[in-house]
A and B are shown apart, each in its own frame.
Chain A
C-alpha cells in the first residue's frame, strides 16, 4: 500500500549563482546573503530563510521566499562587483514539487537512474539527474519527503509523470519490502 502525495510548491525564490567557489570574495558574498558557507559537493544546506544547493563545481542554487529573490540578486551583485560571476533570478523559470509519503523513494526511483535506497540517499544530499526524459534535481526534506525542481516549461509533464508513478498499487516495493 502507498499513499504518496504529489503537490506543486507555492512560488519560490530561486537564484542561480555562478563563480569561483575558491575565491574569498565569492565566499564572502554568499555568506553575507545567506550566512552560509559554500556547500561541498552535492550538498544542500537549509537555514531559516531558505537553502543553498551545490549544482556543479561553479554553480549554486539559492532558494528563498519569492519576493526576496530580486533583493538577493542585488546584494550579490553589489558584493561581487569586479569579480567574475553570474547571479540571476530564475524563480519563474523553475517549478518545484513536493513528493511525500510512504513510498516516495520508489516514485522517484521509477524514473531516475539514481540509487534511492533509504540507506543510501539521505537528507542533505541533492542530486541532479533526469526524471523520465527531463532534467530535474531533488533532495530530501525529511523522512519519506522529497522536493524536486525542474524547468517550468516541463512542469505539467513532471506533474503528470509523478501523479502516474504515485498511483496506489503501482509500487515495486523494492525499498518498502
Chain B
C-alpha cells in the first residue's frame, strides 16, 4: 500500500484515494518532430528499478495532479511536489541523493 502526501490537501492520501498518471516530466514533442520522436513521446517509458518520478492525481480528494518521487524497489517515498514544474525541485533531489548516494541523477 502506497501512501502519498497530497501537497494541496496536506493529507497523507492512501493509494485507493489516488489515481496513477504514469511517468512524470515527459516533454511533449512539437508538431515539427519526426515520427520516431513522437513514437518515443507517446509510448516509450522508463521502467527503472529504483528511483522513479511519477504523476499522481488526488482523484477522490481535491482532484489535483501532483508529482511523486519514489523507489520502485523498496516503495520508499522521497517526497511529493507540485505538478507545475518540469524538473524535480532541489529539495527532492537532495533527499534522493542522501538516501541513494549512488543514484545517477535526474536526466
Contact = CB atoms under 8 A, between A and B. Distances in A.
Contacts of B61: 56, 127-129
A104 B16 CA distance: 22
Range class of the B interface residue count: 10 to 19
Given A42-B9, A56-B8, A57-B8, A113 B14 contact: yes
Nearest to A113: B14
A57 B64 contact: yes
Interface in B30-58: none
Interface string B63-95: 110000000000000000000000000000000
Contact of B60 (A41, A55, A57, A128): A128
A135 interface: yes
Interface of B: 8-11, 13-14, 16-17, 60-64
Contact of B17 (A55, A56, A113): A113
Interface residues of A, number: 13
A56 B16 CA distance: 18
Nearest to B59: A135
18 contacts: A41-B9, A41-B10, A42-B10, A55-B62, A56-B8, A56-B9, A56-B61, A56-B63, A57-B8, A113-B17, A114-B11, A127-B11, A127-B61, A128-B61, A129-B17, A129-B60, A130-B16, A130-B60
Q: Which 6 A-B pairs have the closest CB atoms?
A: A56-B62, A113-B14, A130-B60, A128-B61, A57-B8, A135-B60
Given A42-B9, A56-B8, A128 B14 contact: no
A41 B58 CA distance: 15
B70 to A, nearest CB: 18
